[in-house]
Structures are given as structure tokens and as C-alpha cells.
Amino acid sequence: MNPEPFLKLDRVIHEKGRMAIMSLLAATPEMSFTDLKQTLSMTDGNLTTHIKTLQQAGYLGVTKSVLNNRPLTTCSLTPAGRQAFAEHIDLLETIVRQSKPNT
Amino acid sequence: MNPEPFLKLDRVIHEKGRMAIMSLLAATPEMSFTDLKQTLSMTDGNLTTHIKTLQQAGYLGVTKSVLNNRPLTTCSLTPAGRQAFAEHIDLLETIVRQSKPNT
DNA sequence: GCAGTCACTTTGCATTGCAAAGTAAACCTG
DNA sequence: CAGGTTTACTTTGCAATGCAAAGTGACTGC
């Protein structure tokens, strides 16, 4: 077993909740706070902190506007985020392959 | 995107270091504290805590003996650990597949 | 005009990850 | 054979994190 892929796993992305956010945004170019919250059944506080973490890492672009007189926070992956996520998935794929030699 | 696999990820296994430990032990039936430490270049403290966490979760069997007049801590997966790890890898595989629809 | 909802943000706490320091036994070494 | 070093861990302390409860502010129905 080669421990390298594990060592390279990006802790910012690796966390459950944030991986889910990144995955959603990889599939759907942009999603609102509320969409993310409902899709992932996360609590509000939990979600804002994860979004903030991803944003500070430069992985997420966040725009705040107003729609129908309500605040609307829209999130999307930055190019850096997209690439970091792709690399993370590659590492996971390596790990999966390493762990299932016979399939 | 289906968020289910993310929600099901076992936090005990998911953490980088512990995933690496579990992977090593899935490939190599038993390893000593020192083996793990060197292979994963972990600090001692970090490793004991992870081992303890995995042990308390019932995923790791830990036996302490003496070899060449030195303490020897030997770790191996329990059946529960093996299964939990296999499930975790399955979930990761699902996530990877979900994230790479076009390959 | 004030109770209630929506869309967040802030705060506080309890849990972790991590490494520095500690422990204990064996082993050189002069 | 006393004193220091190494090996193999464990404990402790702290900083960082995840999480949800409480807070904020704008709107909206009654």
C-alpha cells in the first residue's frame, strides 16, 4: 500500500460536508444557500461556516444579491476550486483502486 | 447529484490518517505501531490517538506484547472494521463515479 | 404595528487533531 | 555499574474545527 495519496488529501475539501458542497457545485454550476441547505439537510450555521471555509480557501465564489425582496447567496466553484476538487477525486479514485485490487 | 453517500460517510474512518491506517491494515493483515508510524510518517502522539479512536469504534484489534525485550503493539482490523472500511470505500467509489460522469 | 417567516450570521461549546513533553524499560559506554 | 541514550509508546495541552442554538435584519401577512 502506498500512503502517498492519503498524505496529499486536501483537508479543506476532505471534510464530509464540504466534499458534498463541492460535488454539488461541480455538477450544478451555481446554487443558492437555501438550495444547498435543503439538498444536504444541513443546519444553517453549519453551512455558512463550510461555505466561508471554502471561500477563504479560494475554492468558492460567493455573490450576495436580493431576489423577490429576499437575500440570495449564490455559490459557485472557482477554477481553483474545480481543479482542487478534480485532484481530490483523483486521489480518492487511487485510494479506492488500491483498496479493491480484485474487481 | 445525490447527497446520500456523503451523509453516510463514517466520520471515524473518513479522517485522512485513520483512512490510511485502515487501508494499510486492509492490505497487510497486521502491523506494529512502529511500522504504521514509519509508513505513514506520523508523529507518535497522533498515531496512538488514531489507533485508540479506531479501537474504541471496534474497528481495530490491538495486542500488546514484547519482542526482543521491547514493547510491541500489533494492530489488525476486526471483522467489523473490515466491513466498515469496505463500505466506506464503496461510498467513495460512488462519489467518485458521481463526480466523473464522462470517463 | 407586531407576530411570524426567511435567509442568513454570530456565538459558544464540545470534540478533535496534533505534537511536545513525559514514562518506562532496555541498551550501550566509559 | 552509574549515567546517558534509544526505543516504543502514552499523556497532556492547546489550537482548530464542526456544529447547532441563539441572534439579526429585512420583509410580509393579519
CB contact under 8 A, A1 and B16: no
Which nucleotide across the nucleic acid strands is nearest to A15, CA versus C1'?
D18
For chain B, where are the E strands, in sequence order? 30-32, 60-67, 70-77
Q: From the Cβ of B35, is strand C under 7 Å away?
A: no
CB contact under 8 A, B40 and A6: yes
**Contact present, B61 and B76 (Cβ < 8 Å):** yes
Domain ranges, residue B78: 4-99
Which residues of chain A are within 8 Å of residue B14 when distances are taken between CB atoms?
Answer: 14, 16
Tell me which protein residue sits closest to nucleotide D18, measuring alpha carbon to C1'.
A46
Which residues of chain A are within 8 Å of residue B93 when distances are taken between CB atoms?
Answer: 96, 100
Number of residues assigned to chain A: 103
CA atoms of A2 and A10, how far apart (whole Å): 17
CB contact under 8 A, A27 and B3: no
CA/C1' separation B66–D20 (Å) = 47
Write the residue in A6, A20, A92 that is nearest to B3 by C-beta.
A20
> A14-41 pLDDT, tens per residue?
999 999 999 999 999 999 999 999 999 9
> B17-56 pLDDT, tens per residue?
999 999 999 999 999 999 999 999 999 999 999 999 999 9
Which nucleotide across the nucleic acid strands is nearest to A43, CA versus C1'?
D20
> A59-100 pLDDT, tens per residue?
999 999 988 888 999 999 999 999 999 999 999 999 999 988
Residue B25 DSSP SS3: helix
Distance from CA of A25 to the nearest CA of B (A): 9
Q: How many domains is chain B built from?
A: 1
Kindly tell me if the per-residue pLDDT of B102 is higher than 80. no
Give the CATH number for residue B53.
Answer: 1.10.10.10
> B50-95 pLDDT, tens per residue?
999 999 999 999 999 998 889 999 999 999 999 999 999 999 999 9
CA atoms of A18 and A41, how far apart (whole Å): 13
B54: Cα within 13 Å, side-chain hemisphere? 32
